[in-house]
Homo-oligomer: A and B are copies of this chain.
Amino acid sequence: MSITPYEVSDDIDYQKIMKSFGAQKINNNIIKKIDNPLVGDYFYAHRDLDKIISYHDKHKEFAVVSGRGVSNQMHLGHLLLYKFNKFLQDKFNAKIFVPFSEDEKYLVKDLEFSCLKDLAFSNALDIAALGFDSKKTEFMFDTVNMKQPVFNLSVKASKLLTFNMINSAFGFNKSTNVGILHYPSLQIAHILHPTESTGLPVLVPIGIDQDVFVKLSRDVAGKQKLTKPASILSRFMMGLSGEKKMSASDPNTSIYLNDSPQKVKKKIMSAFTGGRGSAAEQKEKGGNPDICSVFEYLSLFFLSDKEKKDLESDCRNGNILCGDCKKCLLNKVNKFLENHQKNRSKAEKKLDKFMEPVF
Contact = CB atoms under 8 A, between A and B. Distances in A.
Nearest to A154: B179
Contacts of A103: 155
Given A144-B148, A146-B146, A146-B148, A179 B155 contact: yes
A15 interface: no
Nearest to A108: B159
Contact of A176 (B152, B163, B176, B177): B163
A183 to B, nearest CB: 9
A9 interface: no
Size class of the A contact interface (CB-based, 8 Å): 20 to 34
B177 A158 contact: yes
Nearest to A103: B155
Contacts of A32: none
B143 A152 contact: yes
Nearest to A184: B178
A174 B185 CA distance: 16
Contacts of A181: 163, 178, 181-182
Contacts of A113: 152, 155-156
Interface string A137-176: 0000011111010011001101111111011000001111
A14 to B, nearest CB: 30
A155 B107 contact: yes
Contacts of A179: 155, 158-159, 161, 182, 185
Given A144-B148, A181-B182, 20 more contacts: A103-B155, A106-B155, A106-B159, A142-B151, A143-B151, A143-B152, A146-B148, A146-B151, A151-B151, A159-B177, A159-B179, A160-B177, A161-B178, A162-B177, A163-B173, A163-B176, A178-B178, A178-B181, A178-B185, A182-B182
Contacts of A145: 148
8 contacts: A113-B152, A113-B155, A142-B155, A143-B148, A143-B152, A145-B148, A155-B179, A161-B178
Contacts of A185: 178-179, 182
A175 B162 contact: yes
A5 B181 CA distance: 21
Nearest to A167: B174
Q: Secondary structure at chain A's binding surface: helix, strand, loop or mixed?
A: helix
Contacts of A142: 151, 155
Nearest to A151: B146
A359 to B, nearest CB: 19
Given A146-B148, A148-B146, A151-B151, A175 B163 contact: yes
Contacts of A166: 178
Interface in A62-93: none
A3 B300 CA distance: 61
B155 A178 contact: no
A175 B164 contact: yes
A178 B151 contact: no
Nearest to A155: B103
Nearest to A146: B151
A131 to B, nearest CB: 30
B162 A176 contact: yes
